[in-house]
């Protein structure tokens, strides 16, 4: 596996691979890798492309009171993991390499970034789309892989690529969970044993909400109330949001029909976890 922290060196490596006729696949990460990230890499490798993994904790997407400094980091552990699964190139830039000057140019996907996680995290998705846009221009991938645990991010990146006519295929990979249902996240390491046990209520409530919809419940507010009550009654989690939205464009939903996204964000202690489930509803005949 090749490694570089230098943009110019990376571009030379990519140029040589493209001369050989190879497609390039990018898996952008913030490191502290888990099985969910490795699943993204496995999906990239299946394409036969030259696989690039980036590890960069992006300061632009953290608010002033968020956990940038606390975000878990272990670059050498991550490098060993991705070398074992056969990644071709690790790109590990520093903040100074990615942002040599104070940023005055940003990429913003409006509307989609104002709801769900964007409602209480102003500037978060602007930071995400800006750094992903930079990575796309640096790496010049043909394919890019994103986990659907961050479903809103996945939709925003897809829309950015579409609106800007970028020649990149964005592929979403389903959520990877522990055996007990907890969605894998780098932030899970911050949960105490009791908080981790309580956090199982997230996937449980989403599964039960899906069952209610399958049994005929069509009120979006009713589903939101059900999930909210279950989390409130059965845990000490502090709810940020619980919302049912259109799974294609995150527009508001009143009557559940078509594919809908049930999305939530809940804090256990200082650790904010997100989870979601996409539910397909057959149209009434």
56 plus 94 within the same structural domain: yes
Q: What pLDDT, in 10s, does the model give residues 5-43?
A: 999 999 999 999 999 999 999 999 999 999 999 999 999
116 closest CA partner among 277, 270, 263: 263
Residue in the structure block whose two tokens are 């925003």: 156
160 plus 191 within the same structural domain: no
167 plus 201 within the same structural domain: no
For the beta carbon of residue 48, count every other beta carbon within 10 angstroms.
10
The sheet that has 258-268: what strands, in order across it? 238-246, 258-268, 271-281
132 closest CA partner among 114, 111, 117, 150: 150
Q: What pLDDT, in 10s, does the model give residues 68-83?
A: 999 999 999 999 999 9
Q: What pLDDT, in 10s, does the model give residues 168-187?
A: 999 999 999 999 999 999 99
Buried b (16+ CB within 10 A) or exposed e, 21-31: eeebbbbbbbb
91 is in which domain, residue-wise?
2-173
Asked if the structure places residue 284 within a domain, the reply is no
Q: What pLDDT, in 10s, does the model give residues 85-99?
A: 999 999 999 999 999
131 closest CA partner among 116, 112, 144: 144
Asked if the structure places residue 181 within a domain, the reply is no
Q: Give me the number of domains the chain comprises.
A: 2
Asked if residues 173 and 154 have their Cβ atoms less than 8 Å apart, the reply is no
11 plus 150 within the same structural domain: yes
Per-residue pLDDT, averaged over 39-49, amounts to: 98
139 plus 200 within the same structural domain: no
Please give the angle made by the CA atoms of 117, 121 and 123, to the nearest 5 degrees. 115
Selected catalytic residue, list 34, 37, 101, 137: 37
Q: What is the 3-state secondary structure (H, E, C) of 156-174?
A: HHHHHHHHCCCCCEEEEEC
Asked if the structure places residue 252 within a domain, the reply is yes
Mean pLDDT, the chain, rounded, equals 96
Q: Which of 145, 173, 201 is the last residue of a domain?
A: 173
For the beta carbon of residue 277, count every other beta carbon within 10 angstroms.
20
We report the CATH number of the domain holding residue 49 as 3.40.50.620
Asked if the structure places residue 285 within a domain, the reply is no
**What distance in Å separates the CA atoms of residue 54 and residue 75, rounded to the nearest whole number?**
11
Asked if the structure places residue 226 within a domain, the reply is yes
166 plus 34 within the same structural domain: yes
- Grade residue 285 by pLDDT with cuts at 50, 70 and 90: very low
**Catalytic residue flag (residue 34):** no
**Confidence (pLDDT) at 282:** 79
109 plus 205 within the same structural domain: no
């Amino acid at each position: 596996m090749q490694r570089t922290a230098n943009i110019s060196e990376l571009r030379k490596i990519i140029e040589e691979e493209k001369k050989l006729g190879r497609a390039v696949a990018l898996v952008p990460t913030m490191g502290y890798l888990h099985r969910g990230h490795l699943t993204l890499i496995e999906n990239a490798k299946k394409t036969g492309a030259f696989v690039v993994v980036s590890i960069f904790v992006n300061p632009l997407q953290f608010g002033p009171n968020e956990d940038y400094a606390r975000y878990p980091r272990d670059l050498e552990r991550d490098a060993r993991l991705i070398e074992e699964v056969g990644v071709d190139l690790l790109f590990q830039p520093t903040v100074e390499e990615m942002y040599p000057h104070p940023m005055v140019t940003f990429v913003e996907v409006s509307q989609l970034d104002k709801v769900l996680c964007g409602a209480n995290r102003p500037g978060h998705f602007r930071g995400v789309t800006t750094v992903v846009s930079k990575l796309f221009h640096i790496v010049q991938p043909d394919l890019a892989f994103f986990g659907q645990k961050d479903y809103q991010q996945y939709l925003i990146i897809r829309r950015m690529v579409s609106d800007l006519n970028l020649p990149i295929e964005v592929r979403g990979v389903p959520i990877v969970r522990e055996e007990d249902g907890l969605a894998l996240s780098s932030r899970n390491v911050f949960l105490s044993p009791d908080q981790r046990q309580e956090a199982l209520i997230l996937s449980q409530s989403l599964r039960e909400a899906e069952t209610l919809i399958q049994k005929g419940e069509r009120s979006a507010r009713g589903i939101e109330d059900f999930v909210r009550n279950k989390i409130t009654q059965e845990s000490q989690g502090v709810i940020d949001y619980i919302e049912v939205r259109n799974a294609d464009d995150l527009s508001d939903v009143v009557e559940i029909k078509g594919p809908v996204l049930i999305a939530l964000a809940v804090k256990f202690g200082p650790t904010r976890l997100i989870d979601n489930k996409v539910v397909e509803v057959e149209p009434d005949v």
